[in-house]
Amino acid sequence: MISKTKGTRIAKIANEIPPSGIRKFFDLASTMDNIISLGVGEPDFVTPWSVREACISSLERGYTAYTANAGLLELRVEIAKYMKKQFELEYDPKNEIIVTVGASEALDIALRAIVNPGDEVIVVEPTFVSYAPLVSLAGGKPVSVGTTVDTNFRLMPEQLQKAITSKTKAIMLSFPNNPTGSTMTEAELKAIAKIVEEHDLLVLSDEIYAEMTYDHKHASIAKIEGMKDRTIVISGFSKAFAMTGWRLGFVTAPSDITNAMLKIHQYTMMCASTMAQHAAIEALQNGMEDVRKMIQSYKQRRNYFVKSFEEIGLSCHVPGGAFYAFPSIKNTGLTSQQFAEQLLLTERVAVVPGDVFGSGGEGHIRCSYATSIDNLKEAVVRIDRFIKKL
Amino acid sequence: MDSKKIEILRLIEEQARISIEALAKMVDLSAEETSNIIKELEDQKVILGYSSVIDWSKVTDTETVTAMIDVKVTPKRGVGFDDVAQRIYRFPEVRALYLMSGAYDLSVVIEGKTMNEVARFVSQKLSTLDSVLSTTTHFQLKKYKHDGVVFSDGEEDQRIVITP
Q: What strands, in cross-sheet order, belong to the sheet with A202-206?
A: A97-100, A249-252, A231-236, A202-206, A168-173, A120-125, A141-146
pLDDT, average across residues A48-57: 97
Neighbours of A307 (CB within 10 A): 18
- Residues of chain B contacting residue A300, judged by C-beta atoms under 8 Å apart: 7, 11, 26-27
- Nearest residue of A to residue B21, measured between CA atoms: A304
pLDDT of residue A185: 97
Distance, CA of B106 to CA of B132 (rounded, Å): 10
pLDDT, average across residues A367-390: 97
Residue B75 pLDDT exceeds 90: no
Task: Please report, for residues A7, A15, B105, the alpha-carbon distance to residue A4 in angstroms, rounded to integers and kept in the order given.
Answer: 8, 15, 84
Helix axes B3-14, B20-27, angle to 10 degrees: 140
pLDDT, average across residues B87-115: 96
A373 touches chain B (CB under 8 A): yes
Residue B141 pLDDT exceeds 70: yes
- Nearest residue of A to residue B27, measured between CA atoms: A300
B109, B164 contact by CB (below 8 A): no
Mean pLDDT of all residues belonging to chain A: 96
- Residues of chain A contacting residue B25, judged by C-beta atoms under 8 Å apart: 303-304, 307-308
pLDDT of residue A74: 98
**What is the 8-class DSSP label of residue A356?**
G
Residue A28 pLDDT exceeds 90: no
pLDDT, tens digit (0-9, with 9 covering 90-100), for A80-109: 999 999 999 999 999 999 999 999 999 999
pLDDT, tens digit (0-9, with 9 covering 90-100), for B122-131: 999 999 998 9
List phi, psi (to 5°) of B70: -85, 125
pLDDT of residue A3: 62
Residue A6 pLDDT exceeds 80: no
SS3 content of chain B, % helix, strand, coil (to 5): 35, 20, 45
Distance, CA of A328 to CA of A180 (rounded, Å): 11
Residue A382 pLDDT exceeds 90: yes
Selecting from B25, B157, B161 the residue whose C-beta is nearest the C-beta of A44 gives B157
Distance, CA of A379 to CA of A29 (rounded, Å): 15
pLDDT of residue A339: 97
Close Cβ partners of A361 (under 8 Å, ≥ 6 residues apart): A125, A126, A146, A179, A336, A353, A354, A355
Within chain B, what is the greatest distance between any pair of CA atoms? 68
Nearest to A390 by CA among A317, A314, A278, A319: A314
pLDDT of residue B106: 97
Task: Give the gap in angstroms from C-alpha B153 to the nearest C-alpha of chain A.
Answer: 15
Residue B77 pLDDT exceeds 90: no
- Residues of chain B contacting residue A247, judged by C-beta atoms under 8 Å apart: none
**What is the 8-class DSSP label of residue A20?**
P
Residue A314 pLDDT exceeds 60: yes
- Residues of chain B contacting residue A30, judged by C-beta atoms under 8 Å apart: 160-162
pLDDT, tens digit (0-9, with 9 covering 90-100), for A210-263: 999 999 999 999 999 999 999 999 999 999 999 999 999 999 999 999 999 999
Task: Please report, for residues A120, A387, B39, B120, the alpha-carbon distance to residue A339 in angstroms, rounded to integers and kept in the order given.
Answer: 33, 9, 43, 68
A353 touches chain B (CB under 8 A): no
